Amino acid sequence: MGRVSEVKDIEVLALHPRVHDHATLKSTRTTTQEKKHWKRNAGCASGCELKKDFNDIKHTTLSERGALYEANRCLKCADAPCQKSCPTQLDVKSFISSIATKNYYGAAKAIFSDNPLGLTCGMVCPTSSLCVGGCNLYGAEEGPINIGGLQQFATEVFKEMRIPQIRDPSLPPVSSLPESYRCKIALVGCGPASISCATFLARLGYTDINIFEKEEFSGGLSSTEIPQYRLPIDVVQFEIKLMLDLGVKIHYGKELGRDFTVQQLHDEQGYKAVFVGVGCPQPKVEPMFEKLSESQGFYTSKDFLPKVSAASKPGMCSCKSQLPQLHGRVVVLGAGDTAMDCATGALRCGAQRVFIAFRRGFTQLKAVPEEADLAKDEKCEFLPFHLPKDVIVRDGRIAALELYRTDYATDGNVAIDEDQFSRLKCDFIISAFGSQVASPLQTAMHPLLFKKDGYADINYETGQAKGVDWLFCGGDTIGNGMTVEAVNDGKTASWHVHKYLQSLHGATVPATPQLPLFFTAIDAVDISVNFAGIHFPNPYGLASATPCTSADMIRRSFEAGWGFAVTKTFSLDKDLVTNVSPRIVRGTTSGPKFGPGQGSFLNIELISEKTAAYWCQAVTELKKDFPQHIVIASIMCSFNKDDWTELSKMAAASGADALELNLSCPHGMGERGMGLACGQDAELVRNICTWVKAATDLPFFAKLTPNVTDITKIAKAAHEGGATGVTAINTISGLMGLSSQGNPWPGVGQEKRTTYGGVSGSATRPVALRAVSAIARALPGYPIMATGGIESADTGLQFLQCGAGVLQICSAIQNQDFTVVQDYITGLKCLLYMQGREDLQVWDGQSPPKAVAPGKPVPVVGRGLPKFGEYNEERIKLTSEFCAESDLLQVKPARPAPPPAKAIPQVKDQIARAIDRIGTYNQLNNKEQVVAVVDSETCINCGKCYMTCNDSGYQAIQFDKKTHIPTVTDDCTGCTLCLSVCPIIDCITMVPRKTEYVPNRGIPVTSS
């Protein structure tokens, strides 16, 4: 036989990285030709290639992978400027924090609580001039967070959960509310402003809310004028459905001015309050175009965009419209967002070239970058400093457009230069010069008054019409043209409608608005737990660490929603300590990561510097003010019976619900014969627990150190000594790092000395999970408080399923603040709710399966072709051919209504749920093997799977020289390294092996 160390599979290794021992040489001409093959940024489809292609084109759209990456970049700043820049005051850092922990329901809840059209706004908001414009990461090289994309992602995931909205269960039921809540309320127009206003009024408890809509469909401009490729109709319908869940009624085919007036609604039909949200439906048209018609090639944006929507939004209306039949050259007049929609829409209607002409310079383009960039990508031509002079019509059709040249005058205004003009050949003109409320409609809105600028005259702080206390208005009608501004107008008006209606009945409302939040059945899930004879309102508590440095911090944590807290460890006065500094440093386990989201911390902080008297008084005060919350006193002594007896009785007398015996602090205290010095010896632990058991009837828990060979022996000793339960684990003893000069960090004093400190954070989670599960296996049913790397509802659930009953948290708070508990609460409620829904069992936690996952649509043609060079050109060609033949109005089969949730599991049902699947290696089945499969459609051709398989695996992946598509060979052993390093979620999956696995023994086993 040959040499076993000889390199084999030369063909497989052909593209594998190698160490260079000389410079690489290739001619520029060769590289110029070769780079075309690999080019990914050559641009998207343009011109006729886009005909009838209404797939999502937004740059901001994110898949789950992109959303998690982006959310974890966010700093979650204090007094976040992004929130201050959002008209609806979205708690941006809160919803992004939830996305970062894969609590997508928690994120959606935060969004919909302040913005009932949160998904629409995530898709169409000009975030660069709103929230993103205030992002503090503009001050760093990597740039601001894609807030709109994150908002879209979270709300799209929630949309796929198919869960109705309900009123806040803690509010009085509608049936018990006074007569004032049954006042008739009318809203005119079913656009964003009215939907928002009606939603908040319904959340408040009003039961007779009626929207009058002139069309046979709802959504306003979201349906009629924002194209399908930016805002799909099913998104609009989803948000309207959430409003209807609360009992709001929509009356279709009811037009203001034709069927009723605003005054009639109030005087004749008995509506006590009226909100007007009809927008500005009349286009502004230059005199030179007034006699032109669509048959001649002229459209206004108010004509063109609704026709495009009617022909491309399946299910919006019952008509079977056709797209406007454009061809040749199209000129769009205007520089706003609407003009950009007209331009990109024209390409999808058959235009070969599109020109966008506007009077100002390119640097003063009115359209936001999100819109303008799309038009640029699709190769629309921009013509700045141009204003229409005259239109040329030949044989009844538009033939050309004459344009003046404009420029900035000395006063900064745009002026026409009549000596310069040009003629531009064109076949169609689309005017996007804005819109207005025409005189007849203004009359129908009486007593609403209008100003000289054409907008309604209202109180902008309340939305109330001047001089008419029952009339309110918002949206385009008052000059707020953004969707999110209209939503906020409706939100603002809702509170003042409420205030007005209550005043009619002699009732008052709080001076500070208190609009109810968004709720679903998920929020009604009970996550309280009875643990060790104590009732915990939720399983989340503060560990005995820096978040419990003082009593006022524990008070603030309870106000934020934490279920319990373990005080900072205190001792008898004779054992008081003084800390050194620096003493708490970021970990290096996540590489050079700076800012929040640290994977670990190291500390050399000792126990509390405060006296036992301080902590006993603090416990007494906290229990008096927060009787439903659990306060656990953490105590520490040396191996001295009298000391443990004295301190235990003192802590018990303070009114604590339980005690935690700190037998595990890994630094400093051990040198004093305390902490680790006791906790590493089973006999000492047993004796200390026996002493405390004799001193008090309170439940008590021994806090265990992981710095032992077998933690179960220590847990058994605590159990034998009478401990109610144990806490696992304290920090892991470690040395975090040294500088290149050999200086440790933290380095104390001028000598830069250090000691082994306690490592905490998510880096310790595998050790903590092992400890908790091992104790649960060794002592079934024994109460365990878990701590060590819990940073989300998802990771907390893992500890519960490994045998813990409640969860202590520290490092996650160090990374953020006390409010993270709300993310954990909603996350756990959602995970439990999803376990009760049969149709959601295919989800991985809150991560949706591929079939409904957000992100760019998966192509139905060209599958398997790489997304670069000539392959991408072929993809564009195939997609164009497919779209040209597609039926845009084909309505997807309706998904069946979600089944009612069965009995929702409780926290107690999760405890030790996974224990029977954790055991010894010999219990594993080596007959049921898996192999890797690569999805070439989602693969980005990076070759990471190929490299790890070659240098750390089994050389079982081939990497194509031309396409860079990896292919798994029959040599795959199912080790799963490739999946572990793949940067794309679900690109590689492990599937059952169809043939028997025969290990490669290298040298065959001899028969003897």
Tell me the per-residue pLDDT of 93-104, one tens digit each, with 9 for 90 and over: 999 999 999 999
pLDDT digits (tens, 9 = 90+) for 930-960: 999 999 989 999 999 999 999 999 999 999 9
The answer to whether the beta carbons of residues 515 and 200 sit under 8 Å apart is yes
Is the pLDDT at 124 greater than 70? The verdict is: yes
The Cα–Cα gap between 621 and 632 comes to 13
Q: Name the helix (H) or strand (E) containing 151.
A: helix 147-161
The closest alpha carbon to 244, from 295, 210, 289, 286, belongs to 210
For residue 507, what are its two tokens?
Answer: 């009732």
Is the pLDDT at 89 greater than 80? The verdict is: yes
Q: Is the dihedral of CA 688, 694, 696, 699 positive or negative?
A: positive
DSSP structure string for 602-633: EE---S-SS-HHHHHHHHHHHHHH-TTSEEEE
Give the number of residues written for the chain.
1008
Is the pLDDT at 46 greater than 80? The verdict is: no
Q: What is the pLDDT of residue 12?
A: 79
808-846: b or e for each residue (b if 16 or more CB lie within 10 Å)? bbbbbbbbbbbbbbbbbbbbbbbbbbbbbbeebeebebb
pLDDT digits (tens, 9 = 90+) for 492-549: 999 999 999 999 999 999 999 999 999 999 999 999 999 999 999 999 999 999 999 9
Put the strands of the sheet holding 584-586 in their side by side order.
Answer: 584-586, 601-603, 757-760, 732-734
Q: What is the pLDDT of residue 410?
A: 85
The Cα–Cα gap between 549 and 358 comes to 62
For residue 229, what are its two tokens?
Answer: 């490729």
Q: What is the pLDDT of residue 676?
A: 87
pLDDT digits (tens, 9 = 90+) for 204-263: 999 999 999 999 999 999 999 999 999 999 999 999 999 999 999 999 999 999 999 999
For residue 655, what are its two tokens?
Answer: 């009114």
- Give the CA count within 13 Å in the CB-facing half-sphere of 5: 0
Q: Which residues contact 444 (CB under 8 A, 6 or more apart)?
A: 256, 257, 261, 262
Lowest mean pLDDT segment, chosen from 315-324, 556-565, 771-780: 315-324
Is the pLDDT at 397 greater than 90? The verdict is: yes
For residue 913, what are its two tokens?
Answer: 């749920």
Q: Residue 320: which pLDDT band, with cuts at 50, 70 and 90?
A: confident
Catalytic residue among 637, 665, 689, 939: 665
Q: How far is CA 972 from CA 10, 16, 66, 943, in A?
A: 17, 18, 29, 16
- The three-state DSSP-derived secondary structure of 462-521 is CCEECCCCCEEECHHHHCCCCHHHHHHHHHHHHHHHHHHHHHHCCCCCCCCCCCCCCECH
Burial class (CB in 10 A: 0-12, 13-18, 19+), 750: exposed
Residue type for position 701:
F
Q: Residue 604: which pLDDT band, with cuts at 50, 70 and 90?
A: very high
Is the pLDDT at 7 greater than 90? The verdict is: no
For residue 474, what are its two tokens?
Answer: 């918002």
Is the pLDDT at 354 greater than 70? The verdict is: yes
Beta bridge partners of 407: 415
The Cα–Cα gap between 362 and 343 comes to 16
End-to-end CA distance of the chain: 19
The answer to whether the beta carbons of residues 570 and 547 sit under 8 Å apart is no
Q: What is the pLDDT of residue 1008?
A: 58
Q: Which residues contact 923 (CB under 8 A, 6 or more apart)?
A: none
Q: Is the dihedral of CA 625, 630, 636, 639 positive or negative?
A: positive
Q: What is the pLDDT of residue 1?
A: 58
* Mean predicted confidence (pLDDT) in 561-590: 96
* Mean predicted confidence (pLDDT) in 3-18: 82
* Mean predicted confidence (pLDDT) in 435-462: 94
The closest alpha carbon to 423, from 404, 396, 395, 407, belongs to 404
The Cα–Cα gap between 126 and 86 comes to 10
Q: Compute the mean pLDDT over every residue in the chain, rounded to the nearest whole number.
A: 94
Q: How far is CA 409 from CA 125, 415, 417, in A?
A: 33, 6, 10
The answer to whether the beta carbons of residues 564 and 727 sit under 8 Å apart is no
pLDDT digits (tens, 9 = 90+) for 29-45: 999 999 999 999 877 77
For residue 273, what are its two tokens?
Answer: 């309050």
Q: Which residues contact 857 (CB under 8 A, 6 or more apart)?
A: 55, 56
Is the pLDDT at 670 greater than 90? The verdict is: no
Share above pLDDT 70 across residues of the chain, in percent, rounded to a whole number: 100
Is the pLDDT at 332 greater than 90? The verdict is: yes
pLDDT digits (tens, 9 = 90+) for 452-465: 999 999 999 999 99
Q: Residue 86: which pLDDT band, with cuts at 50, 70 and 90?
A: very high
The closest alpha carbon to 631, from 685, 553, 522, belongs to 553
Is the pLDDT at 474 greater than 70? The verdict is: yes
For residue 252, what are its two tokens?
Answer: 């279709």
Q: Residue 317: which pLDDT band, with cuts at 50, 70 and 90?
A: confident
Burial class (CB in 10 A: 0-12, 13-18, 19+), 21: exposed
The Cα–Cα gap between 170 and 607 comes to 40
The closest alpha carbon to 831, from 539, 557, 516, 536, belongs to 539
Active site residue 689: no
Coil, strand or helix: which one is 958?
A: strand
